[in-house]
């Protein structure tokens, strides 16, 4: 048996056969598969984050299965075929890398990214703004960073991170003022502005904000679970403990992790 996309496609066709196929696969639609599609994507991300290479082999296969299912469902309705999918991405890659396939130059990753956005804007002439096309269903952190990257491609960006720190201080003060005034609507707005500025700072420093927060989530989860285990081993209860006591144990856990 050949292990390639064509073989996978043939298997999916059998699974989707209206008479002899799998009952579950047969009732799936392009839209019904979306939640599972997203779940598989995040399982890939988790495997990558944790350097679980063998798990990534499996998760990429699951993701590829969903790509194949989407193509197969589209073919059944005569919307498009896999040839159109491959042709579209290949042509896009060639068009958007003129420094590789044409006589243009781009010496840094930043230049390449900016060129990509401008070429994309030229291709999508029906769009009224360069900021269009960012899927709103994504994490708000990702949307913020992609929006800022698109704006930066036009030159609407600070040259370094110093002004961002100034903006961060300004937004913090505005949030504190809103809290002092007990203005709930303004508080929410200022929290959003502060988060948006933090994403901007992350971007300027060369980091992905969503990845940074995901790592902090994992770090907090690990430490809190160790806190729970500590209390369990010592016959203590979190519910009856004071914050000061928990903070003391938290510091011990941090010290232990830093020494490992």
Q: How confident is the model at residue 260 (pLDDT cuts 50, 70, 90)?
A: low
Asked whether the predicted pLDDT for residue 15 surpasses 80, the reply is yes
Query: If you average pLDDT over every residue of the chain, what do you get?
Result: 93
- CB-based contact 194:172 (threshold 8 Å): yes
Q: Radius of gyration of the chain from Cα atoms?
A: 25
Give the pLDDT of residue 115.
Answer: 85
Q: How many alpha carbons fall within 13 Å on the CB side of residue 182?
A: 0
Distance separating alpha carbons of residues 140 and 59, to the nearest angstrom: 24
- Beta carbons within 10 angstroms of residue 198's beta carbon: 19
Top-tier CATH class for 5-93: mainly alpha
Question: Given this model, what pLDDT does residue 24 score?
Answer: 96
Within 10 Å of residue 32's Cβ, how many Cβ atoms? 11
Per-residue pLDDT of 109-119, as tens digits, reads 888 888 888 88
CA torsion sign for 95, 97, 100, 103 is: positive
pTM: 0.70
Res 107 pLDDT > 90 = no
Residues 107-129 have a mean pLDDT of 84
Average of pLDDT values for 235-249?
93
Q: Phi-psi category of 88—alpha, beta or left, where left has phi over 0 and alpha has psi -120 to 50?
A: alpha
Region 121-135: mean pLDDT is 84
- Asked if the model's pLDDT at residue 4 lies above 90, the reply is yes
Q: What angle do CA 117, 122, 123 make, to 5 degrees?
A: 95
Residue pLDDT, tens place only, 38-90: 999 999 999 998 899 999 999 999 999 999 999 999 999 999 999 999 999 99
Look at residues 88, 51, 82 and name the one whose alpha carbon lies nearest to residue 64.
82
pLDDT tens string 156-210: 999 999 999 999 999 999 999 999 999 888 999 999 999 999 999 999 999 999 9
Can you read off the two tokens belonging to residue 182?
């007990």
């Amino acid at each position: 048996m050949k292990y390639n996309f064509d073989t996978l496609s043939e298997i999916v066709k059998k699974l989707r056969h209206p008479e002899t196929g799998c009952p579950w696969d047969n009732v799936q639609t392009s839209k019904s598969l979306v939640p599972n599609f997203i779940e598989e994507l995040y399982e890939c991300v988790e495997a990558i984050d944790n350097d679980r290479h063998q798990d990534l082999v499996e998760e990429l296969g699951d993701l590829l299965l969903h790509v194949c299912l989407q193509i197969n469902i589209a073919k059944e309705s005569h919307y498009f075929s896999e040839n159109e999918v491959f042709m579209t991405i290949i042509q896009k890659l060639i068009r958007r890398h003129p420094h590789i396939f044409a006589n243009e130059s781009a010496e840094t990753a930043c230049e390449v990214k900016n060129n990509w956005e401008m070429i994309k804007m030229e291709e999508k002439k029906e769009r009224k703004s360069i900021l269009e096309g960012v899927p709103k269903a994504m994490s708000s952190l990702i949307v913020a960073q992609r929006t800022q990257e698109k704006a930066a491609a036009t030159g609407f960006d600070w040259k370094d991170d110093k002004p961002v720190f100034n903006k961060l201080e300004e937004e913090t003060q505005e949030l504190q003022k809103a809290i002092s005034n007990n203005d709930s609507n303004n508080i929410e707005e200022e929290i959003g502005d502060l988060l948006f500025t933090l994403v901007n700072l992350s971007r300027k420093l060369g980091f992905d904000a969503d990845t940074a927060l995901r790592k902090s989530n994992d770090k907090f989860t690990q430490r809190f679970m160790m806190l729970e285990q500590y209390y369990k081993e010592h016959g203590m209860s979190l519910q009856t403990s004071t914050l000061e006591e928990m903070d003391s144990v938290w510091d011990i856990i941090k010290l232990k992790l830093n020494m490992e």
